[in-house]
Chains A and B, each alone.
Chain A
Amino acid sequence: MADYAVKKFFQLIVTIFGVVTLVFFTLRFIPGDAASAMAGDTLSGAALENLREKMGLNEPLLSQYLSYLKSLVMFDLGETLTTRLPVGGLLLKALPITLSMAIATIILTVTISIPLGTLAAFMAHKGRRWLDNGLTGMAMIVDLMPSFWTALVFLLIFSLTLGWFPASGQLTWEDPWALVQRLALPVMVLSITQIATMARITRTSVLEVLSEDYVRTARSLGWSELQVLFRHALKNAALPIATVIGLSFGNLLNGTVIVEFIFTIPGVGNLLINGINSRDYQMVQTLIVFYALLFVTINFVTDLIYRTLDPRVQF
């Protein structure tokens, strides 16, 4: 196990190093350079040269790269090019909002999809397939709905027509109730896709376990159906479900960018879109690297947890 973890960790480091390098050099291949792309037509001659100097673009490429690596290791994320605010500070301010949306989505997803999927598997096992068929069909449609479209439809129905949730307004931690109301719709939009995927996975895993020998043994020993379902089937199906929660985190991150844009939530995704629109390459570079780091780290942890908890997995 330790060997495996060390090997995987080494791979993780190589991947992270590759991500940082890829992002750095991609941004250096912008036609013209970052300074002229940023300035557009507003600067010329000496002023442009001045900006280049300030951005460190006149240094040799290799020394730019090395100083970038050095600053990353020191957790110095630099300043935004337009407003001269520290990128690290902006990220730290935006991150709690994005993370609380993500965590709320995962909690809502798990509480709805696992009972739903288990029920569908149980009924399919008993030969009543209507819930199963309905769930599979719904899951496919929901899975393919573009999240920006779902968000607008929800906004139209729940906010503009029914008036249940505010469509805009301040987001502060001082007023938790307002915060919850404001984040409710985005979390619903994010959850609906995740619920579809997760319920389907739960259904498949539980259905698989239900035909295992040890489940039959448990039944023959006189355990009731519910006990079999929860003590044996769901417990053994929990691992693949946990893995999928980890793996679908990438989709969740994609989704947060879209809902933050639509519901004007000042999270990391909004920071990214603003960075691109103001051609702030320092910001874009940092945020893209940040998203990739978050994603690979979660995958790494999921993989390790899976292998630690499941004694059947071999190394």
Chain B
Amino acid sequence: MADLSIKSAATVTPGLHKALAAARRNPLITNIKARISLFILIPILTLMILAPVLPIQAPLETNLRALLESPSLTHLFGTDKMGRDIFSRTLAGIQVSLLVGFSVAGIALVSGMIFGTLAGFYGGILDRVIMTIVDIFLAFPSLLLAIGLVSVMGTGLIPVILAISLADVPRFIRLQRSQVISLRSRAFIDAARTVEASQYWLMSRHIVPNTIAPMLVAGSIAAANAILIEASLSFLGLGIMPPEPSLGNVVRDGQLYLEQAWWISTLPGVVILLIAIGLHFLSDGVRELLDPRSRK
């Protein structure tokens, strides 16, 4: 047994070196903006994943002997009026934020791709109908649309994700449609048509693959926006409801104690800002990597 483990360790090490060398050449790491984003996002993700095994109080656990304590080594972000640990609640809130951010980006990306491609490719009455609906949804400022939808669907994780997605989907449809329209008349599409490629083939092999890069860039910005809107909804008391922590409702909890305990509201807010900045740098990095023209 001992023999086996030594042997496998020996074979793993060169593999590891190779992987590290490959990582050093990976454009995601050499690109400066992507590097800044990873520098911000990886520690946050690691802390979030390790939260259950870190020596900190559980997010919902109260401790009546440590009420409104200022930040210290045992409570990095201090405690609230019920003696709950703000750092641990923040880490739990990050999970909610990222879940909302990536679900919304995913939903918006996929539905934007489908409806935008159909509208742009076929044009005519289908395009008219889809774009009229898109215009109606874009008539609402995004946060207000989400507030309105949540007031009907109720609070909680799923309604929040759906509400923010509905506010975002029209923007993705519009982007995808304009890309498809500009691709539709390009020479390589005509070439494919001359060899009698089917419409499905044209869309799936020639059009959609060429639209993915800008959609991914838009997707990571949408994730950042979704995180900000979820936090705003939860702050207004219309999103994730306490005691379940989310970054927005932790900030809301601290609002009444702003004078005695500034840390409850301010520190989780800094984390929201960091995540949003990280995602924006990621989108900038992805854009530069995918579009050789914007590389300096």
Contact B136 A146 (CB under 8 A): no
Interface class of chain A by DSSP: helix
Tell me which of A19, A156, A273 contacts B262 (CB under 8 A). A156
Residues of B within 8 A of A295 (CB): 139-141
Contact A22 B151 (CB under 8 A): no
Residues of A within 8 A of B151 (CB): 276, 284
Interface residue total, chain A, C-beta cutoff 8 A: 43
Interface residues of B (CB under 8 A from A): 132-133, 135-137, 139-144, 147-149, 151-152, 224, 228, 231-232, 235-238, 248, 251, 254-255, 258-259, 262, 265-266, 269, 272-273, 276-277, 280
Q: What's the Cα separation between A27 and B151 when bound, in Å? A: 9
* Interface positions of A from 1 to 44, Cβ below 8 Å from B: 11, 14-16, 18-19, 22-23, 26-27, 29-30
Between A and B, 5 residue pairs with Cβ closer than 8 Å are A15-B132, A146-B251, A147-B232, A148-B251, A254-B142
Known: A251-B141, A257-B144, A277-B237. A152 touches B259 (CB 8 A): no
Is A77 an interface position by the 8 A CB rule? no
Smallest beta-carbon distance A10→chain B, Å: 12
Is A292 an interface position by the 8 A CB rule? yes
Give the nearest-CB partner of A30 in chain B: B152
Contact B277 A152 (CB under 8 A): no
Contact B269 A11 (CB under 8 A): no
Contact B144 A254 (CB under 8 A): yes
Closest 6 CB pairs of A and B: A149-B269, A18-B136, A250-B141, A254-B143, A144-B276, A276-B151
Residues of B within 8 A of A273 (CB): 236
Tell me which of A19, A147, A149 contacts B266 (CB under 8 A). A149
Is A141 an interface position by the 8 A CB rule? yes
Residues of A within 8 A of B272 (CB): 146, 149
Contact A26 B152 (CB under 8 A): yes
Smallest beta-carbon distance B97→chain A, Å: 11
Is A301 an interface position by the 8 A CB rule? no
Contact B144 A288 (CB under 8 A): yes
Tell me which of A22, A284, A291 contacts B136 (CB under 8 A). A22
Contact A19 B140 (CB under 8 A): yes
Residues of A within 8 A of B236 (CB): 257-258, 261, 273
Residues of B within 8 A of A277 (CB): 237
Residues of A within 8 A of B269 (CB): 145-146, 148-149, 152-153
Q: What's the Cα separation between A22 and B238 when bound, in Å? A: 21
Residues of B within 8 A of A160 (CB): 258-259
Is A201 an interface position by the 8 A CB rule? no
Q: What's the Cα separation between A48 and B5 when bound, in Å? A: 73
Smallest beta-carbon distance B255→chain A, Å: 6
Known: A156-B266, A276-B147, A277-B237. A18 touches B141 (CB 8 A): no
